[in-house]
Copies of this chain bind each other. A is one copy, B any other.
């Protein structure tokens, strides 16, 4: 078993990449997509339904099942950790701004309207002009919903400038739901966005854009099975939005083409001045020249991020079985830190009350250590060990543990690794530590 232990304990990413190169085979893009969508529904990453699959595929928020919810949660947590903890660059503060805002201005954009109020106006016995007038006024009074997290952060800047004593650079981080107006299709949508608004001195903004591009690309690649699918590309001048003087996109190469996961903009300070009605003195910082800070804005779409990592980590293996059967096996090789389920607990031969109790104890131990555990031993439909493993591989479960009669005798359990497919024997008292170490080793690469 010493030999096995060593192999399982290999650097997690090394193992994953090795395997991938050895056995993955290119398949047709659309086939791959269909296969991925089916797996995501079957294994409770996304909820069933065509409309839902369509949202998911388009990189929008969809209805997630338990595994998809947990994957997005892990992804958001990693994002948060990575942008807020690198204090060497400057402090980053988390904020939470409002989704809806009450701005009375020409009725445009996406607004939250109470239909009953509009119907009341329409049902009144008034002239056409009066109705038009009243509806326009109602729309103006209705709150707008946010389409990004930038404006909210710019509005919150002043008290936080005091907090850092007007010292640059520093950043404001936020994650949350944003709405997206329909592009002609008539159907608005929602997206889980991440936003880091970085305030820096004017002369350094381009360097910071480069710095953050490197950081962010490194972050995406860190969790990838096939890192070369992630890339960055400068936004062409004619596609620069609004106040932006430079932009960079982080792209993922989906089977059907490249899509943007995250965008980095160097936006100057025009928007900041606009939000604060030109009150320069409130915004000036202590960088020698008392300048109004420039803004570098990094905005990500984490629903598309979920889709990218699922797509990136799906391995379809063709394997010849003993009896010459060609089997297709799918493995979701999600990064150990992102994988929703870290370990599954099962009962081998026997299935007695006693074994269940052992599983229950182990489950409690894992749960307290915040290791997401799948209680396979509670399942009541009988399946073969082989079928169960195939299911766990599709779910992306990192390890599966089998408790059997021998465990009661000598405390030994079987632990099977998703990435090496090797089964090793371990003492029951060692598993929690082993799992924690494995995951944190993968986190700190």
B residues near A141, Cβ cutoff 8 Å = 186
* A379, CB-defined interface residue at 8 Å: yes
The stretch among A58-66, A195-203, A404-412 that forms the contact with chain B is A58-66
Partner of A136, one of B41, B63, B122: B122
Taken together, the copies of this chain in the complex come to: 2
Are A380 and B165 interface neighbours, CB within 8 A?
yes
Total chain A interface residues with beta-carbon distance under 8 A: 85
B residues near A233, Cβ cutoff 8 Å = none
User: In the complex, what's the smallest C-beta–C-beta distance from A132 to chain B, in angstroms?
Assistant: 5
* A275, CB-defined interface residue at 8 Å: no
Q: A314-325 vs B: 1/0 string, CB under 8 Å?
A: 000000000000
* A283, CB-defined interface residue at 8 Å: no
Are A112 and B114 interface neighbours, CB within 8 A?
no
B residues near A114, Cβ cutoff 8 Å = 109-110, 181-182, 188
* A10, CB-defined interface residue at 8 Å: no
Q: A134-178 vs B: 1/0 string, CB under 8 Å?
A: 011001011101000000100110111001010100000000110
Are B102 and A109 interface neighbours, CB within 8 A?
no
User: In the complex, what's the smallest C-beta–C-beta distance from A134 to chain B, in angstroms?
Assistant: 11
- Known contacts A44-B160, A156-B65, A107 near B115 by CB under 8 Å: yes
Where chain A touches its partner, the secondary structure class is: mixed
Are B135 and A100 interface neighbours, CB within 8 A?
no
Are A94 and B115 interface neighbours, CB within 8 A?
no
Cα of A53 to Cα of B158 in the assembled complex, Å: 17
Cα of A368 to Cα of B141 in the assembled complex, Å: 47
* A235, CB-defined interface residue at 8 Å: no
Cα of A44 to Cα of B162 in the assembled complex, Å: 10
Residue of B nearest to A166 (CB): B380
Scoring A47, A111, A145, A181 by chain B CB atoms within 10 A of each residue's CB, the highest score goes to A47
The stretch among A85-93, A257-265, A288-296, A327-335 that forms the contact with chain B is A85-93
User: In the complex, what's the smallest C-beta–C-beta distance from A391 to chain B, in angstroms?
Assistant: 11
User: In the complex, what's the smallest C-beta–C-beta distance from A137 to chain B, in angstroms?
Assistant: 11
B residues near A152, Cβ cutoff 8 Å = 63
Scoring A98, A368, A379 by chain B CB atoms within 10 A of each residue's CB, the highest score goes to A98
User: In the complex, what's the smallest C-beta–C-beta distance from A397 to chain B, in angstroms?
Assistant: 14
Residue of B nearest to A176 (CB): B177
Are B112 and A145 interface neighbours, CB within 8 A?
yes
Cα of A142 to Cα of B62 in the assembled complex, Å: 18
- Known contacts A156-B47, A167-B380, A378-B91, A190 near B98 by CB under 8 Å: yes
Contact sample, A vs B, 17 pairs, CB 8 Å cutoff: A44-B159, A47-B156, A63-B97, A63-B152, A63-B155, A87-B360, A88-B360, A98-B190, A100-B189, A100-B190, A107-B115, A108-B119, A110-B114, A122-B136, A127-B128, A128-B131, A131-B132
